[in-house]
């Protein structure tokens, strides 16, 4: 498995891929070997920054998961079990949520006090491993994440035969599904996309009809950007050449949300090519904004964990030589404060949509 993950190799027959995994294990067992499943390591130690594509990619390090190893046995069992669950989903032509998969796997192993899975994070993580092992995406394995995130703007799409106009969906906007591969874009008139990390800010902009006034698309999730949103962003920018501006809190966590959208994430480095969007720009909030808009009094003190995270992020390969970002990190550390997007409301409830965002966009006041 030292070769790089090949994209969409097995798209044709996902069930076959899962079967192959099973057959490999069974043949080892028949030979009397301690069965192993090779799995690429998903950690900072095994990601590289590819200068050419400007994305985080997975390295070549492989770990072997053994059944007859105290530390691996349970994980090994989980891997095979989740593969089996996924195979059933495929044969029944049903989709399950991550939560469903967790409950389908969860049970107490007879004669022990051991649960096959205790937390959903375990089955989630095994699914990500399965993606790597089989070269299939989670969606191809018929497992979807929860819907998360909203979008509004001058776009018309077709989804499962329904035509949907993102500008005519009332106060809630369109909720972005976990799988956006089947969506067809029929008409895209917005000129750029504004993505924000907070649903509350999205609602503010939506109420102010920001997307109408600025002729754009506004999109949000809550916290980390889900795969569905990242895929949707990538499709819009690659198919319609729309610039994307990201609006996050002024803290290391906000910076990492931006980093994931732009370069890809460490955890899902194997699918960076399908997710990362190197052209996105960071609109704010920046440390300079705090000074410029006199928001010092509305900032929050950084905690030790925040400071530690700043140190970590500033050392990532893709930020290391980025002078503009290093300057931001330095200022954060010196000021020892962070600023939430909503702090802009201290200057008036619609200050963000009337003054802050238009000024920033007009002046092209972005970080790259």
Partner 1 sequence: MAKTVAEELAKKQQSISVSEFFTKNRHLLGFDNPRRALLTTIKEGVDNSLDACQEAKVLPEIKVKIKQLEEERYSVIVEDNGPGIVKAQIPNIFAKLLYGSKFFTMKQQRGQQGIGISAAVLYSQLTTGKPAKITSKIGKNHPAHYYELKIDTKNNEPDIVIDKEVSFDQDHGTRVELEMEAIYQKGSRGVDEYLKQTSIANPHAEIIYTDPEGQKIKFPRASDKLPVEPKEIKPHPHGIELGIFISMLENTNSKTLTSFFTNDFIRVSSVTAKKICDEALFKPTEKPQSLNRDQAEKLYKIVQNTKLIAPPTNCLSPIGDDALQKSLEKEVPAEFFASITRPAAVYRGNPFQIEAAIAYGGQLDPEGPIKLLRFANRVPLQYQQSACAITKSIIDTNWRNYNISQSRGALPQGPITIAVHMASVWVPFTSESKEAVAHYPEIIKEIKLAVQECGRKLATHIRRTVRVREQRERASLFEKYIPEIASSLHNLTKTNKKEIEDNLYKILKKSLKDLMPQEEENVEENKKRKK
What residues line the site for partner 1 (CB under 8 A)?
18-19, 21-23, 25-26, 29-30, 32-34, 67-70, 73-74, 76-77, 80-81, 83-84, 87-88, 109-112, 114, 116
Distance CA 168, CA 119 (A): 39
Closest to partner 1 by CB, 129 vs 340, is 129
Question: Strands 150-153, 217-220: parallel, antiparallel or unpaired by DSSP?
Answer: antiparallel
Query: DSSP 3-state assignment of 120?
Result: helix
Closest to partner 1 by CB, 67 vs 102, is 67
Closest to partner 1 by CB, 118 vs 182, is 118
DSSP state of 89: H
CB of 30 to partner 1, least distance (A): 6
Closest to partner 1 by CB, 64 vs 109, is 109
Total Cβ atoms within 10 A of residue 191: 15
CB of 361 to partner 1, least distance (A): 52
Distance CA 243, CA 91 (A): 40
CB of 70 to partner 1, least distance (A): 6
CB of 60 to partner 1, least distance (A): 25
Provide the token pair at 168.
Answer: 């005519």
What is the distance between the terminal CA atoms of the chain, rounded to a whole angstrom? 35
Alpha-carbon separation of residue 37 from 41, 106, 326 (angstroms): 12, 22, 40
Alpha-carbon separation of residue 47 from 40, 200, 344 (angstroms): 10, 33, 36
Closest to partner 1 by CB, 109 vs 349, is 109
Catalytic residue list contains 103: yes
Query: DSSP 3-state assignment of 29?
Result: helix
Contact between 262 and 281 (Cβ < 8 Å): no
Q: Which residue has the tokens 């399965």?
A: 130
Closest to partner 1 by CB, 111 vs 170, is 111
Element (H, E) at 50: strand 47-50
> Over the range 201-210, which residues count as b (16 or more CB within 10 Å of their CB) and which as e?
bbbbbbebeb
> Over the range 8-37, which residues count as b (16 or more CB within 10 Å of their CB) and which as e?
eebeeebbebbeebeeebeeeeeeeeebbb
Total Cβ atoms within 10 A of residue 146: 11
Distance CA 150, CA 174 (A): 5
CB of 71 to partner 1, least distance (A): 9
* Annotated catalytic residue within 66, 103, 245, 282: 103
Closest to partner 1 by CB, 85 vs 341, is 85
Identify which of 53, 9, 45 has the alpha carbon closest to the alpha carbon of residue 273.
Answer: 53
CB of 78 to partner 1, least distance (A): 10
CB of 28 to partner 1, least distance (A): 9
What are the residue numbers of the active site?
Answer: 103
């Amino acid at each position: 498995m030292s070769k790089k993950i090949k994209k969409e190799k097995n798209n044709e027959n996902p069930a076959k891929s899962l079967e192959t995994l099973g057959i490999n294990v069974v043949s080892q067992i028949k030979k009397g070997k301690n069965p192993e499943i090779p799995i690429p390591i998903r950690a900072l130690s095994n990601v590289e920054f590819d200068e050419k594509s400007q994305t985080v990619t997975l390295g070549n390090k492989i770990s072997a998961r053994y059944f007859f190893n105290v530390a691996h046995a349970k994980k090994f069992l989980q891997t095979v079990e989740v593969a089996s669950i996924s195979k059933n989903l495929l044969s029944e032509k049903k989709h399950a949520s991550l939560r469903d998969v967790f409950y389908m796997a969860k049970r107490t192993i007879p004669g022990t006090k051991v649960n096959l899975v205790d937390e959903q994070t375990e089955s989630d993580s095994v699914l990500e491993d399965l993606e790597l092992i089989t070269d299939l995406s989670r969606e191809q394995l018929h497992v979807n994440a929860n819907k998360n995130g909203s979008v509004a703007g001058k776009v018309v799409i077709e989804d499962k035969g329904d035509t949907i106009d993102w500008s005519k969906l009332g106060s809630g906007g369109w909720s972005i599904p976990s799988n956006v591969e089947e969506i067809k874009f029929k008409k895209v008139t917005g000129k750029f996309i504004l993505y924000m990390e907070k649903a509350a800010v999205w609602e503010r902009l939506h109420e102010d009809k920001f997307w109408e006034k600025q002729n754009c698309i506004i999109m949000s999730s809550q916290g980390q950007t889900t795969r569905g949103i990242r895929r949707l962003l990538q499709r819009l920018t690659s198919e319609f050449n729309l610039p994307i501006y990201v609006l996050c809190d002024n803290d290391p966590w906000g910076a990492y949300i931006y980093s994931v959208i732009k370069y890809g994430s460490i955890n899902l480095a194997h699918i960076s090519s399908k997710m990362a969007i190197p052209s996105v720009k960071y609109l704010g909030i920046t440390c300079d904004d705090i000074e410029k808009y006199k928001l010092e009094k509305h900032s929050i003190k950084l905690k030790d964990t925040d400071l530690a995270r700043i140190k970590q992020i500033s050392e990532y390969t893709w930020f290391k030589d980025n002078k503009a970002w290093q300057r931001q990190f330095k200022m954060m550390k010196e000021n020892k404060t962070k600023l939430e997007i909503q702090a802009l409301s201290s200057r008036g409830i619609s200050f963000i949509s009337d003054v802050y965002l238009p000024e920033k966009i007009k002046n092209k006041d972005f970080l790259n």
